[in-house]
Amino acid sequence: MASDFNFSNNFPFSFAKPKEKGNIWLMNSGIKWLNRAALLASFLGILAFVADFGFYQSKFYQEVFDGFYFIVLGFGVISTFARYVSKRIIPKRKVFIFDLLSIGFTFWIFYLYLFVGVPFETDLILENPIWVQLAVILTFIREASEVRINYKRAILNPAQLFVISFFLIIVIGALLLMTPRATHEGLSFVDALFTSTSAVCVTGLIVVDTGSYFTDFGQVIILLLIQIGGLGILTFASYFSYFFKGGSTYENQLALGDLTNSKKLGEVFGTLKAILLITFGIEAVSAVLIYTSLDADLFESHARKVFFSVFHAISAFCNAGFSTLPNSLYESGFRFNYLFQLIIILTFVMGGLGFPIVDNIISFLKYKLRSLLSFGRYKVNHRPWVLNINSRITLVSTLSITLVAFIAFYSLEYNNTLAEHRGFGKVITGLFGATTPRTAGFNSIDTSAMLFPTTMIVFLLMWIGASPASTGGGIKTSTFAIATLNIISLARGKSKIEVFRREVADISVRRAFATISLSLVVIGFAILLISVFDQDKSLIQIGFESFSAFSTVGLSLGITANLSEASKLVLTVVMFVGRVSMLSLMIAVFRKVRYKNYRYPVEEIVIN
């Protein structure tokens, strides 16, 4: 049942207080307090989970943690039963199934520990309490999703909510990476903050080797930060809340509509569901394909191979560029695995297209399939506008940029970084080198050995980046396309941009050029500051690092780990700005003016 904590009116969220009626007030009041206790216990269970994994425990404290987990699970089961009793209605089938499975899972754990116990001490469940901790996490999700949060748009606008959510996740991630059991040798706050920012902002720049410096716990933290950063914590929180409650307030839907770019208010949660299904579906298929493409002899165990596949599938789709290999995909044993590289390419390209584009492409393919299968009176004779203008511009610009980049990269590096490859391998490696700069961040060649002209091309590709509403960064392909179309329109003497029998809105043109200008300002300041803090580094190295950080690419010429702490902090800020976008930051900072129903006389400004 919803909680009713009281917050001041200045806080952007309010927790609704349900009205009590009739003679059942006492029972409902007791259930409310029980639900509050279950929520508090589950939250403390998450903290215990972090402390359990992040810090080394004595036998006594480990037993305390294990006992507390069962208290949390007990509260969760009782609270769930009480919720059904108080509501006196059967919830939606999906919620009922979730509760049934989670309670069944909890009772199974109770049975194993309380009744099976000592005779089976070598059992996986009893030897490793990971399943108990998983049940605690499920309990927290269930209890937290019942809290009714009313978002106050007048106090905190969607842009501010978006920026603050990323900032909080970065700080929490940095603190988790600093725990003793996250690394083998410890990590300073600056390096932890840099790594957390790089993961949440799906960049891929690293100051320490991910595979050897971080423990399994540390690598799992990085993986979770990548997944949360790629999708956004608000996406997870909002959908879980909708899943269990089946609805949301008007203000909440407005805010989510702004964050998900939904055109209709009724499509908000449908969009969230599509985002999650597309993400986890593509990542799952990619992980399976990666697993089948790998040589088992390269891994210590089957579990290591599975984790490697999952890690790189998530990192690729989120365009993070993190790898557990010391030299990314240039590592010996993977450098010539062209099938593996092709799978990675397809994964990060789909992640870089953007969720609305992928969803629209799926709708278009469904329409084409129905057209092919239809016959007789069911034959489809009309041609609806299925593939919208955003998808068309994104696909054309993506394919055009990729083709030009591939030809240039293949031609320039044929006898240089591609010299060790032959035939089909040259093509795949060249394609990888042409596509990865657009925010993917993996490298299958020695980046520092590229020719100067190739490096300049990579600069441009990093700056352009991926597509809008995707896991990638940069100014975005649509921005670059609008700028190019605007130049062509001006050259032809046209006063408006027309493409695919549609006219591009003036606001889109203004946003595109604002994005371009702000990106150059941010990158310029980053280059200036780093050149002051690290004067021994060359301009091309500093520029490459700054472009890579802003566009959340992750490619480097090998100077990241050797930068001063001041330069690392500069890159940390640049990665954050590149992920949330400078325009969103400015919208979050500046107060919106009210619309004025007047216009001044129009004057042309001399440009050239």
Same domain assignment for residues 100 and 184 = no
Strand partners, 498: 503
Q: In 3D, which of 478, 499, 250 has the Cα closest to residue 354? A: 478
Same domain assignment for residues 112 and 226 = no
Backbone angles phi, psi at 13, to 5 degrees: -125, 145
> 518 is written with which tokens?
């702000």
**Where is pLDDT greater, at 232 or 506?**
506
Pairing relationship of beta strands 502-503 and 498-499 according to DSSP bridges: antiparallel
For residue 119, pLDDT over 50 is answered with: no
Neighbours of 375 (CB within 10 A): 8
Question: Which H/E stretch holds residue 69?
Answer: helix 59-87
> Residue 567 falls within a domain, yes or no?
yes
Same domain assignment for residues 567 and 489 = yes
Which pLDDT score, from 0 to 100, does residue 375 have? 60
DSSP at 449: G
| Counts of helices then strands in the chain (DSSP H, E) | 23, 4
How confident is the model over 222-264, as pLDDT tens digits? 999 998 888 776 565 555 555 555 555 545 555 555 555 555 5
How confident is the model over 332-360, as pLDDT tens digits? 889 899 999 999 999 999 888 887 788 78
Q: Which residue range is the domain that position 213 belongs to?
A: 158-350
CB of 437 within 8 A of CB of 548? no
Most confident of 44-53, 232-241, 475-484: 475-484
CB of 322 within 8 A of CB of 206? yes
Rounded distance, CA 608 to CA 606, Å? 6
**Where is pLDDT greater, at 9 or 511?**
511
How confident is the model over 525-559, as pLDDT tens digits? 999 999 999 999 999 999 999 999 999 888 888 89
End position of a domain, from candidates 99, 128, 147 = 147
> Residue 413 falls within a domain, yes or no?
yes
What is the average pLDDT value for the chain, to the nearest integer?
A: 81
End position of a domain, from candidates 125, 147, 169 = 147
Most confident of 88-97, 107-116, 274-283, 393-402: 393-402
> Residue 208 falls within a domain, yes or no?
yes
For residue 401, pLDDT over 90 is answered with: yes
Question: Which H/E stretch holds residue 44?
Answer: helix 25-54
> Residue 7 falls within a domain, yes or no?
no
Strand partners, 151: 13
| Side chain identity, residue 162 | F
Same domain assignment for residues 81 and 193 = no
Same domain assignment for residues 330 and 421 = no
> Residue 596 falls within a domain, yes or no?
no
| Side chain identity, residue 174 | A
**Where is pLDDT greater, at 248 or 366?**
366
Same domain assignment for residues 166 and 284 = yes
Helix axis angle, 582-589 to 565-580, nearest 10°: 80
Q: Under DSSP, is residue 462 helix (H, G, I), strand (E, B) or coil?
A: helix
> Residue 357 falls within a domain, yes or no?
no
Question: Where do the H-state alpha helices sit in 151-267?
Answer: 158-177, 189-200, 210-213, 216-231, 233-245, 250-260
> Residue 262 falls within a domain, yes or no?
yes
Same domain assignment for residues 413 and 560 = yes
Same domain assignment for residues 229 and 113 = no
The strand ranges marked E within 88-194 are 149-151
Rounded distance, CA 482 to CA 478, Å? 6
Rounded distance, CA 104 to CA 98, Å? 10
Which pLDDT score, from 0 to 100, does residue 416 have? 92
Rounded distance, CA 147 to CA 35, Å? 10
Same domain assignment for residues 456 and 539 = yes
> 29 is written with which tokens?
């009041």
CB of 524 within 8 A of CB of 510? no
47 band by pLDDT with thresholds 50, 70 and 90: confident
pTM, two decimal places: 0.83
End position of a domain, from candidates 147, 174, 193 = 147
Distance spanning both ends of the chain, measured CA to CA: 65
Domain count, the chain: 3
Same domain assignment for residues 311 and 443 = no
**Where is pLDDT greater, at 102 or 205?**
205
Same domain assignment for residues 337 and 442 = no
> Residue 544 falls within a domain, yes or no?
yes
Same domain assignment for residues 167 and 309 = yes
Neighbours of 166 (CB within 10 A): 21
> What percent of the chain lies above the pLDDT cut of 70?
80
**Where is pLDDT greater, at 107 or 512?**
512
